[in-house]
Amino acid sequence: MSTSETLSLVPNYSPGYGSTPNGDTHNTHKPSSSQTVLHTSPPTPTIRKSIKIVLTSSKINILLIFIPLGYLAHIFDLSDNWVFILNFLAIIPLAKLLDFATEELSLRVGETIGGFLNATFGNAVELIVSVVALMEGEIRVVQASILGSIISNLLLILGMCFVAGGIYHEEQKFNQTAAQTTSSLMTLACIGLIIPAAFNFAVGNNNPIIDDGITKSGLLDLSRGTAVVLLIIYILYLYFQMKTHSNLYQGEEEEEDNDPQLSLGVSIFLLASITVIVSFSADYLVGSIEGIVESSGLSKTFVGLILIPIVGNAAEFVTAINAAMRNKMDLAVNVSAGSSMQIALFVTPFLVLLGWAIGQDMSLYFQSFETVVLFISILITNYLIQDGKSNWLEGVMLLATYIIISLAFFFYPNDNES
């Protein structure tokens, strides 16, 4: 084989490197910039480095110091005020870490399974707190926290996104089709709550012939049947989002490095351990609500609807605001409105069926005032996102609605809770 034939087998051969025109070879072998280079995957981080990555993943992690303090407050039987405050502050960074662990695991297992994990654990903190409260029989707290999470996502977080983005950008655009699909599903979920309220009003209040026990039984059966329908709709929505119309939800990719920072084993361990820690903190938090209500005079509805959602929505709040300021409104709208839709179509019916399984009379019947508040929140959100554009004034409208609702529930009397 001739020299020229030999050289032709070398990709992008340059005679200045490795050989002279006379066939003599140099001692140095520098690859040209265009030569094929094999890249290997980055090495798995050590345990020490993984811990550092986890602890430095967010500035909110400074609040992790409140985890042991919350546990100690419960162990040493401090006042309910201290137990509530310390565990309240402890769950905020745990919510962010749970979001981080879910994202890391999603990057390792592929797009389809990753999307399912994000859909399942996207509101894990709200789900854990609600499950703990449901097992303790605090059905009013469960219903208020569900309603509060939906409203805070639709009005508070989305409103702050519109304001924060509007400060830096005169007008912002987002995926109109995906936003309208989410708002339509939210309307369906609202129908699932309005019908039980109408059923109770028509059958219970206006018909003295029917026994209260029959009304309650029919209301529970209606709620459980509706919960099954909503769960089926949620599963179909996931199929719509991840398979048949996935192009509508690709949105804006993060410009930062999307490579996973943790190994698969560390990600699974982190997700499992944080879930356990959150369950303990949530248990202590829910157990102190009764004392908070008695000492402060606040209603359980206000605590569940305004205060507890702040804990679960801390991660969404930070993510959505940062995305809006960087003009990534598809991501911001998906985080806020999408989270509300998930709570309405997955978390709420799941809790109804779980209550059925453990003997708790959890239903989709919310008090009339709460149902009206939810309807108003969904109504104004649908009006503002239907054109696929946003500005700071629309954000102010959402925030004003949230403040009015918060004031109403602040003065909501405990006597109306049954």
- Inform me whether the pLDDT recorded for 6 exceeds 70: no
- Inform me whether the pLDDT recorded for 8 exceeds 80: no
Q: Which pLDDT band holds residue 3 (cuts at 50, 70, 90)?
A: very low
Q: What percent of the chain has pLDDT over 70?
A: 81
Q: What pLDDT, on the 0 to 100 scale, is given for residue 256?
A: 46
What is the average per-residue pLDDT within 83-101?
89
C-alpha 391/C-alpha 108 separation (Å) is 37
Q: What percent of the chain has pLDDT over 90?
A: 31
Beta bridge partners of 390: 172
In one-letter notation, the amino acid at residue 84 is F
User: Global pTM?
Assistant: 0.79
Q: What pLDDT, on the 0 to 100 scale, is given for residue 336?
A: 85
- Inform me whether the pLDDT recorded for 351 exceeds 90: yes
Q: Which pLDDT band holds residue 119 (cuts at 50, 70, 90)?
A: low
Q: Name the average pLDDT for the chain.
A: 81
CA angle, residues 390, 393, 398, in degrees to nearest 5: 85
Q: What pLDDT, on the 0 to 100 scale, is given for residue 213?
A: 61
List Cβ neighbours of 211 (8 Å cut-off, separation of 6 or more). Answer: none
> Does residue 36 or residue 309 have the better pLDDT?
309
Q: Which pLDDT band holds residue 13 (cuts at 50, 70, 90)?
A: very low
Q: What pLDDT, on the 0 to 100 scale, is given for residue 29?
A: 45
Q: What pLDDT, on the 0 to 100 scale, is given for residue 263?
A: 85
C-alpha 301/C-alpha 148 separation (Å) is 9
Q: What pLDDT, on the 0 to 100 scale, is given for residue 27?
A: 46
- Inform me whether the pLDDT recorded for 112 exceeds 90: no
Q: What pLDDT, on the 0 to 100 scale, is given for residue 330?
A: 85
Say if CB 297 and CB 308 are below 8 A apart. no
Structure tokens at 240: 């719509």
Residue 256 DSSP SS3: coil
Of 4-8, 162-166, 315-319, least confident by mean pLDDT is 4-8
Distances (CA, A) of 148 to 73, 122, 144, 366, 385: 27, 16, 6, 12, 20
* Domains of the chain, first to last: 47-249+260-411 (1.20.1420.30)
Structure tokens at 260: 């996973």
What is the average per-residue pLDDT within 325-349?
88
In one-letter notation, the amino acid at residue 340 is S
Say if CB 124 and CB 275 are below 8 A apart. yes
Q: What pLDDT, on the 0 to 100 scale, is given for residue 31?
A: 44
- Concatenating the DSSP letter of every residue in 382-414 gives HHHHTTSEE-HHHHHHHHHHHHHHHHHHHT--G
Please count the residues of the chain: 418
- Inform me whether the pLDDT recorded for 214 exceeds 70: no
- Inform me whether the pLDDT recorded for 9 exceeds 60: no
> Does residue 110 or residue 281 have the better pLDDT?
281
C-alpha 366/C-alpha 43 separation (Å) is 52
> Does residue 108 or residue 382 have the better pLDDT?
382
Sequence-distant contacts of 11-14: CB under 8 A, at least 24 apart: 11/35, 11/36, 12/36
Q: What pLDDT, on the 0 to 100 scale, is given for residue 292?
A: 86
